[in-house]
Chains A and B, each alone.
Chain A
Amino acid sequence: MRVSFEVNGHEVTADNVWPGESLLYVLRERLGLPGSKNACEQGECGSCTVYLDGVTVCSCLVAAGQAQGRAVRTVEGLAESGDLAERRLSPVQEAFVEAGAVQCGFCTPGLLVQTDDLIERTVGQGGGVPDEAEIREHLAGNLCRCTGYEKIIDAVRLAAERTAAQRDGGGPA
């Protein structure tokens, strides 16, 4: 079958999609967007997290056909658009690098999308910076084998604080 949807603001089409194929597979193997990772393929690790119509999902659990006509946003769409080399990192991406929340990087794309979502739902909706319990709850479905999580939580807090400061002060923190 043919599946058409929007990815990171661009219309895409994949042909000869087998009905059992996952959205993750289509992104990685058919659309050249390998940023979302496949680490378990059954909804246990969160490495494959993407936005589907603004809601984060494990793309390994979404059939490609379910994305028909909808909008997907992946880690590749988090940075501000522009030339790849010149692309400005989003505050979330920046915070992950700065806080030392990245090691092998395989869990990172899923965590970034999930963090982006948390900040959007809190600071982005005019709310305050999420507290530690909220951060932990929101990232509960994302496994990391390298970092020990500590720095990931720091990075989320840092990104949220900066986003809030930007919002309130009208400029970069």
Chain B
Amino acid sequence: MSGLLENTSTRAIGADIGRVDGPAKVTGTATYAFEHQLNAPAYLHPIQATVVRGRVREFDTRDAEAVPGVLTVLTHDNAARLADIGDAELAVLQSDEVAHRGQVIGAVLAETPEAARQAVRLVRVHYEERSHDVRFSAARTDLYTPGEAEDDEQGDLAGAMASAPVTVDHTYTTPMEHNNPMEPHSTIAVWEDAGLTLYESTQGVHSVRSTMAELFGLDPERVRVIAPHVGGGFGSKGPLHPPVVLAALAARLLPGRPVKLALTRQQMFDLVGYRSPTIQRVRLAAEPDGRLTGIGIDVTAQTARFKEFLEQAGKPTEVMYAAPNRRITHRLAALDVAPPTWMRAPGECPGMFGPEVAMDELAVACGVDPVELRVRNEPGTEPASGRPFSSRNLVACLREGARRFGWQDRDPEPRRRMEDGWLVGTGVAASTYPTGQMPGSVAAVRFEDGHYHVRIGAADIGTGAWTVLTQIAADALGVPVTAVRLRIGDSSLPSASLAGGSTGTVSWGSTIVAAAQAFRERHGTAPADGAEARAGLPDNPNRERYAMHAFGAQFAEVRVHADTGEVRVPRLLGVFAAGRIVNPRTARSQFIGGMTMGLSMALHEDSVVDPRFGCVVNHDLAEYHIAANADVVDLQAHWIDEADPYVNPLGAKGIGEIGIVGTAAAIVNAAYHATGVRVRELPMTLEHFLA
């Protein structure tokens, strides 16, 4: 598995190259899903349930149909039956049942979006309403253990807690959060005799193709999905959600005509998933010097009653710290809500909030420096599995971060520093994210017109895939980047796994390396025009032998105004160990962007559900706050050189998600240091400091 790590002629990988899609994006010529110029499109606007639970008795569509320009009102009565409705979330318009507020129960198709929208308002829906329950709480008596996460127990945590000289036992909470990529989920669907074409804002064209083919009972060859540029996703554009199915159902009624659907920002809060809220009881048992004898996390998360999704927030506790006694449990509350989905670092992001704040509480209780406390609890092997790490440099990140941040002179006493009315403090937390790899990718290399044409159906959702895959291909072929012509974002290209779980670059990149090697073996270094080779992602036997994760350490400075409780974060510094960095410019963007989203989580993000009506009330960017430029002052991301010969031929680990992991805990810990007030729930709004 040494591969390119040994290749001393490597030039492109590691080079600080500007985004190859940059010029298109700054001239406004990069084409996003809704922007493909097609002839005579029709526009679709969904009808959404205004009750939480029940069934539709009747649609009165007379007034809607009278709106000039309305083509069709689509409901479960006239929508095509789907072939496979195993995924209840995607069984769009297949019955009259309403399972959550805002669910798609119909749509209007019209000549203009305004006509469609106006007509939707004129549709009168009569419901048979049933009682509903959307209250999320760990005290519910109907919580259940999801099949995918059995309780994980080593030793005896309760015994360790009873006998330990120092313990921490607190409950931490994270709220419901919405991904909110800047580009709303959008689709253009076209049904023709040849099949279905979808211009889609997605993290994976091939997964959209295969899922849509199954749903509509089509040969996958008859479905084509196109997505050259995607305006962010952060998980919500990973798995499919109802809008794309709705667009295809509508297009089916209008053969040959493109049907366009772009969600409004408000609809983004109902229809494309969110991060489940979590309640985390964290227990730590320790010796007086901070060495852990026990660690446990009991997670409660929510799911839709009609479709299960588990936010696996207990996962990082399997990985982080040594302790002979360990207990990790997950419980789900099944509610009358829309299904949660992936949001940047699902599991790890919320799951490193409670435990990393608890570690800070332990550091205070033991009088041990929080950096030192983490170093003391460094495991030799992955705690839950006993497997060796392929590489683990958490300690190096903590030390390097402490040095760069100026941690050494820190007075551990809280509430000691006051500057111009602001209480000032600093805090630290660790980050981790698994280094995955998704199966199923194939890449093709073809030599033509003096260029190497590399084709793979990968997706660039802003991560830099266009750029880094070009660099990887160049090095794998031993040619300059200018000799490579990359094509991605189209399901007519060879199959690729989706951009998710920070696996894109490593899975697609390793596949491209294999295809380049196959090309050179077949055609040598002076290929004829038209020479071609392809290869799939090879198995990596090391994946069974080693635990593979990236690690990091985040340091925050927080100021809390002594009178108003206002919280500012003037400084955030992260150091990451994530294998080889393919492109420092795009990598820095990923780390910093992740940390900013972590800051946003710490201070702002909170989807507020009204239990009476079952909907998110702050469903736009005026009320659902995300970090703005004023929130981000001095933000730095660094990385350490990490050579990992086992993870993949690139020696790279995924970096799209780790930046958001641990940030909120570092900020909360710094706020404690500033004020002496321990906040255990997010977001950390100012009322926490106005006791």
Q: Given A18-B114, A75-B27, decide whether A153 and B629 contact each other with a Cβ distance below 8 A.
A: yes
Q: Which residues of B contact A153 (CB under 8 A)?
A: 629
Number of chain B residues whose Cβ lies closer than 8 Å to a Cβ of chain A: 56
Q: Does B184 contact A (CB under 8 A)?
A: yes
Q: How far is the CA of A18 from the CA of B113 in the complex (A)?
A: 11
Which of these, B26, B37, B182, B629, contacts A39 with CB under 8 Å? Answer: B182
Chain B residue with Cβ nearest A104:
B462
B622 at the interface (CB under 8 A from A): yes
For B588, list chain A residues within 8 Å (CB). Answer: 100, 151
Tell me if B586 counts as interface (CB < 8 A to partner A).
Answer: yes
Known: A105-B25, A146-B589. A20 touches B181 (CB 8 A): no
**What chain B residues lie within 8 Å of A100 (beta carbons)?**
18-19, 585-586, 588-589
The winner among B231, B265, B592 for most chain A CB atoms within 10 A is B231
Contact B464 A103 (CB under 8 A): yes
Selected interface stretch from A40-48, A51-59, A118-126, A162-170: A40-48
Whether a CB of chain B sits under 8 angstroms from the CB of A33 is yes
A35 and B28 contacting across the interface, CB-CB below 8 Å: yes
In the complex, the answer to whether A139 meets B184 with C-beta atoms within 8 Å is no
Bound CA–CA A40/B624 (angstroms) = 12
How does the 8 Å CB contact mask read for A91-102 relative to B, with 1 for contact and 0 for none? 001101110101
Contact assessment for B462 and A76 in the assembled complex, using a CB-CB cutoff below 8 Å:
no
Q: A143-B621, A150-B592 are in contact. Are A106 and B113 (CB under 8 A)?
A: no
Which residue of A36, A94, A148, A150 contacts B28 across the interface (Cβ within 8 Å)?
Answer: A36
Please give, as numbers and ranges, the residues of chain A lying within 8 Å of B491 by CB-CB distance: none
A:136-173 near B, CB below 8 Å: 136, 139-140, 142-153
Partner of B265, one of A20, A39, A146: A39
B463 adjacent to chain A (CB < 8 Å): yes
A1 at the interface (CB under 8 A from B): no
Contact of B23 among A25, A33, A89, A145 (CB under 8 A): A89
Within the complex, the shortest CB–CB distance from A11 to chain B, in Å, comes to: 20
Residues in A with CB closer than 8 Å to B113 are: 25, 29
Task: Flag if A148 contacts B595 (CB, 8 Å).
Answer: yes
Residues on the B chain within 8 Å of A74, using CB: 28
- Contact partners of A34 in chain B: CB under 8 A: 28, 31-32, 34-35
Chain B residues with CB under 8 Å of A71's CB are none
For residues 14 through 47 of chain B, which have their beta carbon under 8 Å from a beta carbon of chain A? 18-19, 21-32, 34-35, 37
Contact between A149 and B596 (Cβ–Cβ < 8 Å)? yes
Answer yes or no: B540 CB below 8 A from chain A CBs. no
Residue B326 CB within 8 A of the other chain: no
Contact for B621 among A45, A94, A104, A150, CB less than 8 A? A45
Query: Which chain A residue has the least Cβ–Cβ distance from B591?
Result: A148
Q: A105-B21, A153-B629 are in contact. Are A87 and B593 (CB under 8 A)?
A: no
* A79, CB-defined interface residue at 8 Å: yes
Q: Are B114 and A149 in contact (CB under 8 A)?
A: no
Q: Say yes or no: is B293 at the interface (Cβ < 8 Å to chain A).
A: no
Partner of B630, one of A20, A41, A136, A148: A136
B658 contacts partner chain A, Cβ-Cβ < 8 Å = no
Contacts of B622 in A (CB 8 A): 42, 44
- Whether B19 and A139, one on each chain, are in contact in the complex, defined by CB atoms closer than 8 angstroms, is no
How far apart are B512's CB and chain A's nearest CB, in angstroms? 22
Closest to A105 in B: B25
Which of under 10, 10 to 19, 20 to 34, or 35 or more describes the interface residues of A?
35 or more
Give complex CA distance A112, B25 in Å: 10
Nearest-Cβ distance from residue B35 to partner chain A, whole angstroms: 4
A35, A96, A140, A146: most-surrounded residue (chain B CB, <10 A): A146
The answer on a CB contact under 8 Å between B593 and A147 is yes
B69 CB to closest chain A CB (Å) equals 9
Q: Which residues of A contact B621 (CB under 8 A)?
A: 39-40, 44-45, 143
Asked if B166 is at the interface (CB within 8 A of a chain A CB), the reply is no
Q: A97-B18, A148-B632, A148-B635 are in contact. Are A143 and B27 (CB under 8 A)?
A: no
Check A104–B23 contact: CB distance below 8 A: no
The answer for the CA separation of A44 and B595 in the assembled complex, in Å, is 22
Residue of B nearest to A36 (CB): B28
- The yes or no answer to B262 lying at the interface (CB within 8 A) is yes
The answer to whether B181 and A97 touch across the interface, beta carbons within 8 angstroms, is: no
Across-interface contacts of B234 in A (CB, < 8 A): 145
Chain B 173-196 residues near chain A, CB threshold 8 A: 180-184
Question: Which A residue sits closest to B583, measured CB to CB?
Answer: A100
Interfacial chain B residues near A42, Cβ < 8 Å: 265, 620, 622
Are A76's CB and B27's CB within 8 A? yes
Closest 9 CB pairs of A and B: A35-B28, A104-B462, A106-B231, A105-B25, A148-B596, A97-B22, A34-B35, A103-B462, A75-B28
**Can you list 5 A-B pairs with a CB-CB distance of less than 8 A?**
A75-B28, A97-B23, A103-B232, A145-B232, A153-B629
Residues of B within 8 A of A (CB): 18-19, 21-32, 34-35, 37, 112-114, 180-184, 229-232, 234, 262, 264-265, 461-464, 585-586, 588-589, 592-593, 595-597, 620-622, 626-630, 632, 635
Q: With A44-B620, A105-B24 given, can you name 17 additional A-B contacts, CB distance below 8 Å? A: A18-B114, A39-B621, A40-B621, A84-B29, A89-B26, A89-B27, A97-B18, A97-B19, A100-B588, A105-B25, A106-B181, A106-B183, A109-B28, A140-B630, A146-B593, A147-B593, A152-B629
